[in-house]
Amino acid sequence: MTTIALIRHGITEWNDLGKAQGISDIPLNKLGRKQADNVGDRLLNEGKWDIIISSDLTRAIETAQIIGGKLNLSISHYDNRIREIDCGEIEGTTEETRQEKWGSNWREKDLGMESFEQVGKRGIEFLEEMVHTYNGKRIVIVSHGALIGLTLQRLLPTMFQSTYIDKSSLTILHNSNRQWDCHLYNCTKHLSNKIT
């Protein structure tokens, strides 16, 4: 059985401001680094992990480095397939700004955003490759909210008709005999409880 821990990066200043980040390369803020530290403590208490892989965006890399420090793992590699959805022209804007600029139906306009289908497809391709390459291993993957959510919707559509992924949350997938199941979804107990 292959076990995959999907972790959304910690919080950033743009998250705090309600700005769409997409592929803009925004670092973690102080709280985001603390959140990553808490995730690392939790994973340390949940058995041995074999490998850690990160999106190639700074906020994910920082999160993975902090977690890897706890687990005594260096990041194996960075993969642009698990970076966040490309938000096109809306990157760096708030909902209020989008409505002022493009109107309340801005979601219906072509603003250069990557399609949900494309995001889910690259997420699935990445996960399938990880299971093939690291079969039987326990893998930590640090990525982004839309990528994780859209991948889950495509991977397990009856379980996940819609998703919401919190910052620094933990989702655990198992793959056995080419069958996927979700053992834990969007768990953030490590952010409110001290890990002992």
How many beta carbons lie within 10 A of that of residue 96, not counting itself?
9
Check 84, 91, 144, 190 and give the catalytic one: 84
The pair phi, psi for residue 163, each rounded to 5°, is: -145, 155
Residue 183 falls in the annotated catalytic set: no
Handedness of CA 69, 71, 73, 76 (dihedral sign): negative
Residue 32 to residue 46: CA distance in whole angstroms:
21
Q: At what angle do helices 58-71 and 30-44 cross, to 10 degrees?
A: 40
On whether the CB atoms of residues 1 and 135 are closer than 8 A, the answer is no
Residue 9 falls in the annotated catalytic set: yes
Residue 84 to residue 51: CA distance in whole angstroms:
21
Q: Point out the residues that are catalytic.
A: 9, 84
